[in-house]
Amino acid sequence: MDAVFIIVSALKVFGFTFLVILPLVAYSTYAERRVCAIIQDRVGPNRVGLPATLLGFKKDLKFFGLVQPLADGLKGLFKEDLTPAHVRKAFYWMAPAFTAAPAFITLCVIPFGSAVTLFGHEIQMVIADIGVGPLFIFAIASLSVYGITLAGWASNSKYPFLGGVRSCAQMISYEISLGLSLIPILLFFGKLNLTDIVTHQATNGWLLLPLWNENGTVIHEGYWQSSGYQWLLLLPMGISFFVFTTSIFAETNRMPFDLPECETELVGGYHTEYSSMKFALFFMGEYAAMIVGSALIVTIFFGGWSLGFGLDTALLQTGDGDWKWYAGFIHLGAFLGKTIAFILFFIWVRWTVPRFRYDQLMKLGWVVFFELALFNIFLAALIIAAPHIGILNTLLFGFPSLTIIAALMFFITKANEEKRRIKIT
């Protein structure tokens, strides 16, 4: 391990965490409040700016309230940090860190851009380029359950505990559909390295918008004629995208599924007993998880850092297929643009869709999404296998067996439901 590698890695960790993600976390709270204000026909926080009147000017500089997150952070730091007497101290103190840390750790496998060449060194714009990218994210993200659960338990009071138990059940349930919905994509790409997945999409078209191809032509003829039936894959990929995105909402405890902190039932949820910066850490963890979620959606379904429309090869590559030295920065911009669009989508959904009931949430996870994702795997596998086993075999054996599996799953679910309804009445 040479010194350059260590220094570059440390710089990347520092840069991506403190210069990219933490400002993004701060400003997504600001965006949340402003977007919510727009939707509810209010003004929102638009006052905090530079206090120019202190220096003798006539008016403060407001900047649309863009300094608000800084003021919020300072307030969190300087507020009294109250530890109630009835809590279990050690876990009470550890829980906020357990929530916030995993969300930031998962960022290290997400490719922020292609490569930048500085001082003769080619620097990949990803902190750890490992071969098990999505699995790593799932593994570390699943550890954030501990933070919320322990917060609920350590608070030693009823409502936080209910919130913690709810979140535990919810996150375990939706992890299943989250993992299963990703399998069709892994079947298609045949690898788990996120950088490779994005590079593949940069040359062959984004997974959900394959409007251009290797030559940069929009709707390449070969795409529709190729024996791979690639365009048929849009159906399973679309289902995957739907299940995956919705499960991310549930995993991050965002609005249609924010049962762990459901104010109307649980006072404040698992963080009822927390104040000042500890509460802010939960908040930061939630937003960081949201950012990681949108970054993952962008990386897998919408081409990550690639510009699309064949622009990557046309503008940013030198003749022999290498990236120009500044390509990484442009790709970083493209990636952040797409991620921010998805964050705004998350915020939009939060202020549009009403909250689910808890039994509806569990039914959606276990009955609808689990089955849908499972069926989706078979569908994608059949379409991918079709050219290898021949059209005749696919139509004669593949599709009938797929239909039988789907029908079986449907009837088992229905039968269960009927039984339960009879029991209740």
Stretch of residues binding other proteins (CB under 8 A), selected from 167-175, 219-227, 247-255, 335-343? 167-175
Residue 149 binds to other proteins (criterion: CB under 8 A): yes
What's the min distance (Å) between Cβ of 229 and other proteins? 20
Task: Among 13, 22, 66, 135, indicate the residue that binds other proteins (CB under 8 A).
Answer: 135
What's the min distance (Å) between Cβ of 191 and other proteins? 6
Task: Among 4, 43, 70, 131, indicate the residue that binds other proteins (CB under 8 A).
Answer: 131
Residue 233 binds to other proteins (criterion: CB under 8 A): no
Residue 100 binds to other proteins (criterion: CB under 8 A): no
Please write down the HEC assignment for all residues of the chain: CCHHHHHHHHHHHHHHHHHHHHHHHHHHHHHHHHHHHHHCCCCCCCCCCECHHHHCCCCCECHHHCCHHHHHHHHHHHCCCCCCCCCCHHHHHHHHHHHHHHHHHHHHHCCCCCEEEECCEEEECCCCCCCCHHHHHHHHHHCHHHHHHHHHHHCCCHHHHHHHHHHHHHHHHHHHHHHHHHHHHHHHHCCCCHHHHHHHHHHHCCCCCCCECCCCCECCHHHHHCCCCHHHHHHHHHHHHHHHHHHHHHHCCCHHHCHHHCHHHHCCHHHCCCCHHHHHHHHHHHHHHHHHHHHHHHHHHCCCCCCCCCHHHHHHECCCCCECCCHHHHHHHHHHHHHHHHHHHHHHHHCCCCCCCHHHHHHHHHHHHHHHHHHHHHHHHHHHHHHHHCHHHHHHHHHHHHHHHHHHHHHHHHHHHHHHHHHHC
What's the min distance (Å) between Cβ of 383 and other proteins? 20
Task: Among 30, 153, 257, 342, indicate the residue that binds other proteins (CB under 8 A).
Answer: 153
Q: Which is nearer to other proteins, 204 or 276 (CB)?
A: 204
Residue 132 binds to other proteins (criterion: CB under 8 A): yes
Task: Among 71, 143, 209, 211, indicate the residue that binds other proteins (CB under 8 A).
Answer: 143
What's the min distance (Å) between Cβ of 162 and other proteins? 11
Task: Among 20, 130, 367, 409, indicate the residue that binds other proteins (CB under 8 A).
Answer: 130
What's the min distance (Å) between Cβ of 386 and other proteins? 18
Which chain residues interact with other proteins by CB under 8 A?
1, 91, 130-132, 135-136, 138-140, 142-143, 145-146, 149-150, 153, 161, 164-165, 168-169, 172, 175, 190-192
